Structure 1
């Protein structure tokens, strides 16, 4: 077998994603690209994919990648001579409930913000677009004219041919049997031919895991975590239907079904609410173009609804009943990027039934990232670093995968929580909070109190696009923080200890703030990339001459710590995750000082403990450390207490708080307070592609210090001027709700979209934040315009501000 002994990169897996990565790396001019496929190209999942090409995804960048895929497939046939079968037939999504219709209308508004053509449809307009549909129960829908369908296998083969034409080596029937490692780097792969007659080793500078449903297993070989699990995916193909012409793709998510016309036949597929995991004992070694056992009983209810929705199906015979495996991730977003556990293993796997529409864009984005060493734009939605180590647990993946397949077509309500595989990571206060009526949500596996039920109220979510059943609860919690005192659990926030003789110098290199501060000082700042984009939004507390504590969001702790370790270089520092070692209770509100003074003999005055400082204290009969900072814009302390004394600390604080009207609060109240204060939310308002100055956070970057990452980009932006500004909006009507991605209209024209949204209970209306393009404009010129927000197709006037609408001077937190 003609395989090289050295390569710049070895790609493992020859499905559509692996072929796309090989194609795009070769297109960038990479030589020594080797793709190894255990059997035949496309023989895992790609060959049996439905081939739907949707262009609208849940965020602007994911939409950009999906649109890139469609554009790529359009030109691929001409480039390679391989027919991709891509047809832009459009798609219709039909709603059967008012809630689903609002979701579709909000989706349509989002499409307008992202530049995707879209049209809202009445039931009768749906019938015009799709005459075969039975309109019983249909409330309306949307039309996306640029959606399409394609031949999945041929797209992969075209990409493989394009890669070969540019010098890549694509080899079928070669199985990777081992991956050699040295420290945090892989050094090569061992391979054997399918017939076992040939073996070899390829020395590699890096590898890419594109192994699809084998991705978890290949990840373990490389020492990395790739959480995914295969599930059975069912569809039928009818006999030819006389006179059936080209049709749009039809989706009826309330019935879990999609419909695709193909060569005069109909394909009907399903994403049922409770799916069937498969491959619990591993994928069979000889799996190649295989089907799974039929389960007509499982599919029958779906088919019965489908025959009612499209009556012609009842007359058509079933030509094929198909059941094939596809891989699903714990959060229904695919895995892309550099694995946290190593410095040269990349991942593109776990595509949750949208591999064909995602493969072109995913291969493009990953190749740019691999080529430059930095993300080309924000890929936080799919970055493999978001996955927590425990999520590779096989029992967890089995339980969660029962839900994730069905979530593709479930109602995508705001604040919707996963129902399966819960309760794994609990803070030290978990049981005490449940006793007080906490209703838990999940973040990075952590169970977090999102809101507290009143006595007699059912402690669970009732989802809606309107005011949900916890709206008044969160309002009362918000009021307690603003007017009295509230306490909430912050234990899940990431805590990373940076310690060693070079700790100060190291942090001054990777962070924009000045860390040459006295012991006890807290620095709020950002870790930047070379473009001035925000890689992390942190508070850093100096614990001693040689030790600091970096506090970061729960979801990004692993990514932030990994980036720090990769940037460590010759600095003598030890970087340690200490998140689980301390519980953290935030005591916030105008009466917070009174509560703190009631539980400790320490001095909490501005003279001894001003804003931005920490001190060690006695608390009750135990010890704690208090940080005087606030994410809600009020006077308050974050109380850090070792896990062994956490239960005692809760009892002491909660009991003392009762005399001052203390209310336990959840994450929803914290979020509504932070957005009133204009505080940025990492991952939404600020990402790696948002310049720190345009985000309005220049005050946290100290350019007077030399040689920190991003310094030159900050100085360049100061000289060149801002291209955009982060603006806070308040709707002038009190009823509509904002979540994120709603279009922002400036003087009647869409100029952007909201990066985050929540209800401002103190300000009396929904609040949103988003970037407004303003090259060459002053702040006054930005604010001189009139603004509206598109809420599910209705334009609502909004007030705009560049300063926080609540307490713009920050006086309350420093009181």
Structure 2
């Protein structure tokens, strides 16, 4: 085997993902690309994939990538001469329950907002398009005429050939065995071939596309890639007489999908309780291998299937297949720059949607690598969302039993994972648990989402309507609006940035000016060169040389990584102190009274202005109080060393009994922030949302005396004017609920979709935020139109406002 000793990039893994990455890098002009595959191309997971290629995904950009994959696969054969087997056969998804039918109707509305062709169809249409289906119990469905299927192996080989045609070297039976490192960079990859030849390739970049080996390859590269292989089952029937080409059929309520192929019928399963595989490692010899049959495990799915598809009962089983696929802790794949290294990239863990995702994922990663910035928002799949502990093998095995089945489970709003829970607990966990808290999980943190009443079941009862916590949250928000409530914010990220150049450094990466007096709190964003929002945070000046950066829990690692990657030798040190401090938010018009009862400090506006932080005495201990609010009320966030957290909670709780104190959860916080039109990072604001169009221009200081990231883009947009505006909506009908992605109609035409949604208990209706195109228009012109929101196919009239509908002038937090 002869391979170059130098390459711009080494791609590890020759499944469809690795081939797509190599293909798209060479399309961008990267000629010195080397792909190493331990066995043959496609021999891991790709070769046995079902080859379903759908357009619609859960978010606009994931749909964008899936649509790109379809278009690419349709053109690959002409480019490379390799037949991909791609054909648009359409797809049908049917609902057997009222809840699933509601989900499909909401999905259809979302598809309209995303520009995906979709039809809601009834039982007669379903039977006409799929005559072999037993429609007993079917309530309705959706039909996507442009969905398709293809030959996974040949699609991968076509991508590989396209990469080779533009100069890539692809080495089969060649294993990456080790790496050399220098600081936070990989400088080269060692390889060994099956003919016993070996060598070393010095490189500028490495991409981990190792599929179900991705976690182990990640360890070799020094990066965390949490994924777990699971057994995945399907059967293929004997030829069925008269079976004609059919759409792909999904019956998620029976955990099943069906695909016609050459007169045979494939039945695949996403069973509720999955079987993790390879817990002791994947055998070195694994190549085009199958796993042992487990008919008992598959039998419940098959029993439902033969009733649903009578032709299956009459045909024999030609193939019973069990093959491994990799799944991630949250059922979203891993893509992007690994936080631990400057030049290691990841594209792995595709949760059984690798074929339909590969084209778009390869395109997006190649553009990211080539341009140095995400080409558009990829937060749903960014590898930086994964916390270090999630690479724990026991955690992955436990979570994987659930995540495979969740692909076909009802995708209810607020649905919580049931497995691998309790890993991260705040210092107040026991106190909250003792008082009825119902916990959800985010980034491993157990977070009190709502508080159950005495005698009320402490669990979620999922649905698309008002769930069991609806009235609880309404009462909690009422307390925050009219009295005083406390909720736990300990999970929010806390990063200490300190050093002689900390101020200058932070001013280079923050849009706002952090050169403020001691104790000031600055609301700001990290911007990219396009003026898009990479992070949404506060910066508190603790001393002349020390600042505290507070970020959302879900983006803590990503935000820390952004800071480190832009340090560029500045004399500053970044320390994650998230777990060192508990944080209690004390919010509401009576919050000042409660704090005066437990502290001798002066909480008046003259002594303690809004937007400042002070050290205070509280109970028998000490704390740091930050006068800010994410719910739009008078209040303080109380930062406590973990050792004093229990004492301070008990002190506040005891004193609070004389002040009507209500324990609240984070669902109430979200409702409060939605009423106040505060932006939610990852939904309302992302890396492709311009800070001015997001309505956050007040947090950008272009005249602060230094050239910060994104400054030119801010100045340019101020000159040109916004192309769209983030506005707030309230449904005039108090009954429907909003979650996100519902289409926005302006004067009867779809112009966008909601970026976030919640219920405004105080405002008396569902609240949403969303962007409206407005090039050349004033705010008054935008507001002069008639607006509706499409909720599962019903158009609901909505009020619209540029200013927050609750407390538009921001007087309440400053009172």
**Fold conserved between structures, TM > 0.5:** yes
Counterparts of 1:78 and 1:31, CA distance in 2: 22
TM (norm. structure 2) is 1.00
Counterparts of 2:361 and 2:201, CA distance in 1: 25
Counterparts of 2:469 and 2:124, CA distance in 1: 36
- Aligned to 1:214, the other structure's residue is in SS state helix
- Aligned to 1:757, the other structure's residue is in SS state strand
Counterparts of 2:363 and 2:518, CA distance in 1: 46
Counterpart check, 1:568 vs 2:567? yes
Q: How does 1:427-446 map to 2 (within 5 A)?
A: 427-446=426-445
Counterparts of 1:165 and 1:310, CA distance in 2: 45
- Aligned to 1:575, the other structure's residue is in SS state strand
Residue in structure 2 matched with residue 798 of structure 1 by the alignment: 798
CA deviation string 1:732-772 (max 9, x = no partner): 00000000000000000000000000000000000000000
Residue in structure 2 matched with residue 340 of structure 1 by the alignment: 339
Counterparts of 1:285 and 1:777, CA distance in 2: 62
Deviation for aligned residue 1:124: 1.7
Counterpart check, 1:719 vs 2:719? yes
Residue in structure 2 matched with residue 368 of structure 1 by the alignment: 367
CA deviation string 1:393-438 (max 9, x = no partner): 0000000000000000000000000000000000000011000000
Counterpart check, 1:377 vs 2:376? yes
Deviation for aligned residue 1:106: 0.3
Deviation for aligned residue 1:334: 0.2
Residue in structure 2 matched with residue 311 of structure 1 by the alignment: 310
Residue in structure 2 matched with residue 624 of structure 1 by the alignment: 623
Counterparts of 2:789 and 2:255, CA distance in 1: 31
Q: How does 1:98-497 map to 2 (within 5 A)?
A: 98-195=98-195, 197-497=196-496
Deviation for aligned residue 1:537: 0.4
Residue in structure 2 matched with residue 606 of structure 1 by the alignment: 605
Counterparts of 1:539 and 1:188, CA distance in 2: 39
CA deviation string 1:644-700 (max 9, x = no partner): 000001001111111111100001000000000000000000000000000000000
Deviation for aligned residue 1:572: 0.2
CA deviation string 1:278-305 (max 9, x = no partner): 0001110000000000000000110010
Counterparts of 2:487 and 2:583, CA distance in 1: 9
CA RMSD, 1 decimal:
0.5
Counterparts of 1:688 and 1:335, CA distance in 2: 18
Q: How does 1:440-589 map to 2 (within 5 A)?
A: 440-589=439-588
Residue in structure 2 matched with residue 740 of structure 1 by the alignment: 740
CA deviation string 1:710-746 (max 9, x = no partner): 0000000000110000010000000000000000000
Structure 1: gaps spanning 5 or more residues: none
Residue in structure 2 matched with residue 686 of structure 1 by the alignment: 685
Q: How does 1:659-808 map to 2 (within 5 A)?
A: 659-705=658-704, 706-808=706-808
Deviation for aligned residue 1:363: 0.2
CA deviation string 1:320-360 (max 9, x = no partner): 00000000000000000000000000000000000000000
Structure 2: gaps spanning 5 or more residues: none
Mean CA deviation greater in 336-345 or 653-662: 653-662
Counterpart check, 1:39 vs 2:39? yes
CA deviation string 1:558-607 (max 9, x = no partner): 00001100100121000010000000000000000000000000000111
CA deviation string 1:616-658 (max 9, x = no partner): 0110000000000000000000000000000001001111111
Counterparts of 1:180 and 1:60, CA distance in 2: 39
- Aligned to 2:730, the other structure's residue is in SS state strand
- Aligned to 1:544, the other structure's residue is in SS state coil
- Aligned to 1:736, the other structure's residue is in SS state coil
- Aligned to 1:293, the other structure's residue is in SS state coil
Counterparts of 2:146 and 2:772, CA distance in 1: 27
Counterparts of 2:711 and 2:205, CA distance in 1: 30
CA deviation string 1:250-295 (max 9, x = no partner): 0000000000000110000000000000000111000000000000
Counterparts of 2:628 and 2:740, CA distance in 1: 26
Counterparts of 1:655 and 1:165, CA distance in 2: 73
Deviation for aligned residue 1:194: 2.0
Counterparts of 1:20 and 1:343, CA distance in 2: 22
Deviation for aligned residue 1:122: 1.1
- Aligned to 2:44, the other structure's residue is in SS state coil
CA deviation string 1:213-244 (max 9, x = no partner): 00000000010000000000000000111111
Counterparts of 2:418 and 2:452, CA distance in 1: 19
CA deviation string 1:423-473 (max 9, x = no partner): 000000001100000000011110000000000000000000000000000
- Aligned to 1:737, the other structure's residue is in SS state coil
Residue in structure 1 matched with residue 48 of structure 2 by the alignment: 48
Residue in structure 1 matched with residue 66 of structure 2 by the alignment: 66
CA deviation string 1:115-161 (max 9, x = no partner): 00001111221111111111111111100111010000000000000
Counterparts of 2:760 and 2:342, CA distance in 1: 43
Residue in structure 1 matched with residue 93 of structure 2 by the alignment: 93
TM (norm. structure 1) is 1.00
- Aligned to 1:813, the other structure's residue is in SS state helix
Residue in structure 2 matched with residue 595 of structure 1 by the alignment: 594
Counterparts of 2:452 and 2:230, CA distance in 1: 36
Deviation for aligned residue 1:309: 0.4
Counterparts of 1:807 and 1:743, CA distance in 2: 26
Residue in structure 2 matched with residue 4 of structure 1 by the alignment: 4
Counterpart check, 1:653 vs 2:644? no
